[in-house]
Structure 1
């Protein structure tokens, strides 16, 4: 395809690393995963990191950890404020733990949660807020963090689409009590499949370790606060303390993560250069609403919405892109309230979802990559100019 949505980023370094694990014959989670966790935590200035097999699993383990902490854990029926646009697995763990979702519309300029509606979303049942930075563009995380502290809310930061973005000199993913990340093929770095959560909270870290690994005690730090250790080594080797999962990553994913993390600053630099080109081409086109950068975007992709006043048929636009061999797709998951799965949720919403609906019905995105896209973006401009 002339202009793909995503592209591979592995080079000889990743191939050599994978081969070294294959030659070792040891594939289960081990020292390479632990090394990647330490490097990832250091990159973000956080104390702890826990790698899992996907960003979706990172959100699941994070939600579960909030539900099992000792002091005022989340419980069934508690309310969580969420943006109307995100990926499905931002929401699914919340539903699976019996939480009620309060949906808030997005700001059309950034596609992130409209913080002007936070006070209207707050109720006596609100216990947590979820901040999502959409497609590389930092959400107003400082405002969300301040709101959470003021109202004694837990703050889960889903940063699966925005690795290496920054706000006020801080990396996104570091504002929440827990930050989550995804290393899927199309994301800023890839470990084939993989995810991570980071935190400075030792209890949440210990809970995440156990929940990742069957809910057992193996791998807990010596000073774990989750349980009292006995002198029975036979029992301690297979002792279960939480209803956990098996969402462990492999050594293959861990060692690839080490190599990809080394390349991340260069990848992000090129993505940002491509963002400059995209903005130069489309910022003055009144027919489209493009994402306004908030902080420093890591430019996952280039989302666009047809302006309400523009007389453009999206189906004809899509046909033109197909004919030009340009890939495109929905903006993240669109308005989540519009999906069939919502019938399984307990939820409410603040007002209408005007802009989430508009993104759902009139939005799309084209890809960004860690190499120069001037030719592809110029072609995109030409195709859309001819509509």
Structure 2
């Protein structure tokens, strides 16, 4: 039996010590550990500001809310946002929750990211933003995507929750848009139990996000915030300026994140070595497709797209016998999910490629340790049965 898990534990004694450090401090909700982690995270990825929240989904939530609440970005309920047809649910639901119209565009079957030729054709006078997703570690073509946004005066937002550490033209994904979101859930590149982060170079957006993650109050705004007003200190304990949420992180998650961040380069290097080996092997199989690395992928996982739904079912059955964990390629064609009935949306053209991976695709995990032996065994299993 091969025994290949979707994800593996990345913690060591350092993370356990960090938890104990928080316990000894007796400060468990958002405090100095969160503040330090935000600073270190922003520095690592070369951005000015970072806002930590309790999940990558919440990162998407406050990112979209901040754009709507901002004084400089003209994104309002009813506006149209272009999205790829393949992503996780909370790429889309946050747009619905803020009254935005979703326009679904097909993906590219090689990169599994949004088809940029289709994007250009999908833009109308109602389009105000593109919410790009770097899928399974693979960066978008940001040279072309940025030009499209500049030409059409569109806001570029990145859902980078699956692609921490990926680069395009030697620049980290999650830093091309006005906002970039990250997840540190257990199965991701680094793990803080639950956790998310939003990066931006825009001070106003950062101020808004730091307010709305905590009910919309002013307490976490500093004197350099454009929303800061000198008032009675007692009153500022409960002073609300935005319609906010409670999506605050806890100190343990941040303390763990600080330790994980120190190890991230090593995690990424091993994932990339595994990814290169996977690509070397599986590109030899003409009867299936794998994801094409556009530039510098951080290899969240390894997608496999078979010739038919029956062939995928056959491989899934083999995987179950060998205890190889696998999943759909994110949510497949998201418009096939029942939740779409609640959305204000439009489908641009045909979603043939999204349908293909919906019916015929799956992915297996990648790990932060050398997994070449297991990858070779999985390759041989598929080669013999394809």
TM-score by length of 2: 0.97
Q: Hey, what does 2:107 align to over in structure 1?
A: 106
> Is the CA contact 2:274–2:370 (under 8 Å) kept in the aligned structure 1?
yes
Deviation of 1:232 after TM superposition, in Å, equals: 2.3
Aligned residue for 1:155, secondary structure, equals: strand
Q: Hey, what does 2:376 align to over in structure 1?
A: 378
Q: Hey, what does 1:334 align to over in structure 2?
A: 332
Q: Does 1:253 align with 2:253?
A: yes
Aligned residue for 2:41, secondary structure, equals: helix
Q: Does 1:70 align with 2:91?
A: no
> Is the CA contact 2:285–2:383 (under 8 Å) kept in the aligned structure 1?
no
Q: Hey, what does 2:357 align to over in structure 1?
A: 359
Question: CA offsets, 1:309-328, max 9 Å, x none?
Answer: xx962211111111111111
> Is the CA contact 1:271–1:371 (under 8 Å) kept in the aligned structure 2?
yes
The 1-side partners of 2:340 and 2:231 are apart by: 49
Aligned length: 384
The 1-side partners of 2:63 and 2:336 are apart by: 25
Q: Hey, what does 2:142 align to over in structure 1?
A: 141
Q: How does 1:197-208 map to 2 (within 5 A)?
A: 197-208=198-209
Q: Which stretch of structure 1 is more off in the superposition, 216-225 or 142-151?
A: 142-151
Q: Does 1:125 align with 2:123?
A: no
> Is the CA contact 2:79–2:126 (under 8 Å) kept in the aligned structure 1?
yes
Aligned residue for 1:268, secondary structure, equals: helix
Q: Hey, what does 2:29 align to over in structure 1?
A: 28
Aligned residue for 2:302, secondary structure, equals: strand
Deviation of 1:130 after TM superposition, in Å, equals: 0.6
The 2-side partners of 1:16 and 1:230 are apart by: 39
Q: Hey, what does 1:175 align to over in structure 2?
A: 176
Aligned residue for 1:313, secondary structure, equals: helix
Deviation of 1:142 after TM superposition, in Å, equals: 2.5
Q: How does 1:1-387 map to 2 (within 5 A)?
A: 2-226=3-227, 229-307=229-307, 313-387=311-385
The 2-side partners of 1:219 and 1:383 are apart by: 54
TM-score by length of 1: 0.97
Q: Which stretch of structure 1 is more off in the superposition, 230-239 or 18-27?
A: 230-239
Gaps of 5+ in 1: none
The 1-side partners of 2:13 and 2:72 are apart by: 48
Question: CA offsets, 1:152-174, max 9 Å, x none?
Answer: 11111110000000000100000
Q: Which stretch of structure 1 is more off in the superposition, 46-55 or 376-385?
A: 376-385
The 2-side partners of 1:287 and 1:120 are apart by: 32
Distance 1:120 1:214, change over 3 A: same
Q: Which stretch of structure 1 is more off in the superposition, 317-326 or 258-267?
A: 317-326
The 2-side partners of 1:277 and 1:245 are apart by: 44
Deviation of 1:37 after TM superposition, in Å, equals: 0.4
Deviation of 1:64 after TM superposition, in Å, equals: 0.2
